[in-house]
Amino acid sequence: MVKALSGHELDALVETGVKVVCDFWAAWCGPCRMLGPVMEELSKEFEGVEFVKVDVDENGDLAASLGIFSIPAVYVFEGGAVKAHSVGYLPKEQMRTFLQDNL
């Protein structure tokens, strides 16, 4: 299950050092709405990984600090830092490959 977090909650989670996959999205974004169900499905396939989402409209400072100007943007955090990111909608198989390569 993908849990909605605030920017502060994401920061606290990333600081623990666990593997985190974060979907940065907005309610008005069509591709974001398409990616949401894909991320829900994939969250069930990767054990030991926290899947979360952060609304960029509500957390603009965090998005800006990460250099996010286009959404959806999926970031992989590991060891407290950004390990990889993907921008734009990817179909399930392509997103699975991106996650497998970076987790």
Could you say which of 29, 39, 42, 74 is catalytic? 29
Residue whose entry in the numeric block shows the structure tokens 């920017």: 7
Angle at 49 between CA 84 and CA 23, to 5 degrees: 55
Q: What is the largest CA-CA distance in the chain?
A: 32
Closest CA to 51 of 22, 74, 73: 22
Q: Judge whether 53 and 2 are in contact, CB under 8 Å.
A: yes
Could you say which of 2, 5, 14, 32 is catalytic? 32
Residue 6, phi then psi, degrees to nearest 5:
-85, 170
Residue 22 known to be catalytic: no
Residues marked active site are found at: 29, 32
